[in-house]
Amino acid sequence: DARVTQTPRHKVTEMGQEVTMRCQPILGHNTVFWYRQTMMQGLELLAYFRNRAPLDDSGMPKDRFSAEMPDATLATLKIQPSEPRDSAVYFCASGLVQLAGTYNEQFFGPGTRLTVL
Amino acid sequence: SQQGEEDPQALSIQEGENATMNCSYKTSINNLQWYRQNSGRGLVHLILIRSNEREKHSGRLRVTLDTSKKSSSLLITASRAADTASYFCATVYGSSNTGKLIFGQGTTLQVKP
């Protein structure tokens, strides 16, 4: 039963600390997305990768957020330094884009609930 | 920056009744997808309807798409308590070569036993 995994599931940290969230996409998927969910803003797309290359990170605060895919089995989202307003649930999703113009469903991980004090 | 807007924001029904949720979007799309999110969990894909389709069924789910009105509806028939969740529509822009999903704010459905 293939699924997206995320670690950690919960993270409580203090303002100014570095936070790293990890995601293992489904094997064979070529697209990885990072989302942030809050009550106020809903689901926001932060960044996404195609074949490990970053395609768009315009939704991410560049000064403190960074996203990478060191290899096909690992995507990371880092916040440095963290701030209380970063408190949210961060989701990773993966999908398979096969043909130009054909886009299918995304498979979401369970999320990382981040609390910055 | 949400593309889709769901209506209603919240819906409460009795078990066995049908639940209808609507989604409106702004620009041309490649496809529209519906997702469910149970409390404290990730989103789960329910159904995808492409821009050239008008209706699609999956079990107790029925999705319609009206591209002229830029709207879609999700119907859950014979609802169960386990259907209690938030439901989101998400669109893939038709002119985009990215596959990005833009989510609406969601409809919170409560099904009372």
Decide: B91 and B2 in contact? Cβ < 8 Å. Answer: no
Distances (CA, A) of B96 to A42, A101, B29, B31: 22, 8, 9, 11
The CATH number of A5-97, from 1.10.287.1770, 2.60.40.10, 3.30.1060.10, 3.90.1150.10, is 2.60.40.10
- CATH 3.40.50.300 assigned to domain B5-112? The reply is no
Mutation to test the B interface, candidates A55, A103, A113, most B Cβ within 10 Å: A103
Domain boundaries, chain A: 5-97
Q: Mind listing the pLDDT tens digit for each residue in A35-60?
A: 999 988 889 999 989 889 888 888 88
Whether B106 and chain A come into contact, CB under 8 Å, resolves to yes
Per-residue pLDDT of B7-50, as tens digits, reads 899 999 999 999 999 999 988 888 899 999 999 899 999 999 98
Helices vs strands, H then E, count in chain B: 0, 11
Residues in CB range of B56: below 8 A, 6 or more apart: B47, B48, B49, B62, B63
Q: How confident is the model at residue B2 (pLDDT cuts 50, 70, 90)?
A: very low
Name the residue ranges covered by the structural domains of chain B: 5-112
What residues of B are in contact with residue A44 (Cβ under 8 Å)? 1
- Calpha distance A33→B17 (Å, rounded): 36
